[in-house]
Structure 1
């Protein structure tokens, strides 16, 4: 059996996934889990990347790669400060 993980999504995103699950259930006549819906969307996005953009939106005109690097650096700095403080308390 595959390992199951939890992920955090906004309520709005969860409702969109449930709506898509309902549409798939109506179309195929069987129940769809949220995992199956996500995999369905991933598979569809490889054929139609604009599908995910229309469902979940995307940032226009933003250098996402550099934004990601910047946020990762900030996360690393916060982690270093946090763990440094923890080692000082011991």
Structure 2
């Protein structure tokens, strides 16, 4: 998801996290991640649930909050996110 106002997501975060948790449990996933890219802040907010949430910390060398982290400079899912997560899984 792309936005020009990341704060507009704040009111919907609890519902999104709940939905992601239900998907994670129903599908038996280890991790569910939603990446919301803020074009103006030039970074992305990651919302995540699941047992493997430490993968986000490992992949991007960041400390995460409860189910979320903002990572400056991350703008491309294909070029920046997938390769880093793939390396962290190995």
Same-fold call, TM > 0.5? no
Higher relative contact order (CA 8 A, sep 6+): 2
Higher strand proportion (structure 1 or 2): 2
Q: What is the TM-score normalised by the length of structure 1? A: 0.29
Q: What is the TM-score normalised by the length of structure 2? A: 0.29
Whose radius of gyration is greater, 1 or 2?
Answer: 1
